[in-house]
Amino acid sequence: MEKFQTDGVLTDMNIKMPASLLHVKYGSHDVTPGVVLTPTQVQKQPVVNWEADPNAFYSIVMNDPDAPSRDNPKSREWQHWCVVNVPGSNVEAGEVLTEYVGAGPPKGSGLHRYVLLVFKQPTGRTQFNENYLTSRSGDGRGNHHVSEFASTYSLGDPVSGNYFKAGPDDYVPSSDDYVPSSDDHVPSSAVRTAEWKVKF
């Protein structure tokens, strides 16, 4: 867990150290803090587990603080996934606010950190006044700070967390495929279907 500190995650996301390690699995790949994976390996929603109170509700957030790059993070943080009102650790029974999209770092942007955090909702089931973000658009995902989200809904500090790194691979299109827009990061699901206008 010390890699959260040494790799700048706590400082860059303005969070405290998660109380426990979140178990994250992409297919056969177990995530350990700071492990390097590829966009191909993380294109599908992961399986996550933590020591949960079965009578409590939780929120899960996955953000990238390195959008569009760690050297120029003007879209920090880019949200990849958000599920709230999760009963215990039953993620499938939670309320999706942001549909999952995997890592899609732009070519030449280096390694990005993808941080998954779990918060315990102090008042149980909670009304979240957030826009629903579909996996078919990148709109609204940039500059989505988890510390502000936690403060708005009095979620406190993360009870569990983990993160991995990923850089561009063949799953991310070349710059010739990009359509310029105000957004600066490319969710990997953007390149899987013709309905997307990929954003960079």
Residues 58-79 have pLDDT tens digits of 999 999 999 999 999 999 999 9
Question: For residues 168 and 148, which has the higher predicted lDDT (pLDDT)?
Answer: 148
pLDDT higher than 60, residue 38: yes
Which comes out higher in pLDDT, residue 180 or 85? 85
CA distance 67 to 188: 13
For the record, the structure tokens of 1 come out as: 């867990």
Taking residue 35's Cβ as centre, other Cβ atoms within 10 Å add up to 15
Q: Please check whether residue 118 is in contact with residue 158, taking contact to mean a CB–CB distance below 8 angstroms.
A: yes
Mean local confidence (pLDDT), 6-22: 98
Alpha carbon 10 to its chain centroid, in Å, reads 15
Number of H helices, E strands in the chain: 3, 9
Give the pLDDT of residue 171. 64
Rg of the chain over all Cα atoms, to the nearest angstrom: 16
Per-residue pLDDT band for 168 (boundaries 50, 70, 90) equals confident
Non-local (6+) Cβ contacts of 93 within 8 A are 86, 87
The per-residue pLDDT for 86 is 98
Residue 172's pLDDT band (boundaries 50, 70, 90)?
Answer: low
pLDDT value of residue 173: 53
**Per-residue model confidence as pLDDT tens digits over 97-120:** 999 999 999 999 999 999 999 999
Q: Residue 169's pLDDT band (boundaries 50, 70, 90)?
A: confident
Rounded distance between C-alpha atoms, residue 166 and residue 152, angstroms: 29
Superfamily of domain 3-191: PEBP-like (3.90.280.10)
> Across the beta sheet with 57-64, what order do the strands follow?
35-37, 160-166, 112-121, 57-64, 78-87, 95-98
Write down the pLDDT at residue 85. 98
Average predicted confidence (pLDDT) for the chain: 88
Residue 20 vs residue 176, higher pLDDT: 20
- Where are the extended beta strands (E) located within 91-133? 95-98, 112-121
Q: Give me the pLDDT at residue 29, please.
A: 96
pLDDT (tens digit per residue) in 189-199:
443 322 223 33
The Cα 43–Cα 189 span in angstroms is 7
Residue in the structure block whose two tokens are 């050297």 = 71
**Minimal CA–CA distance to 77: which of 26, 140, 129?**
140
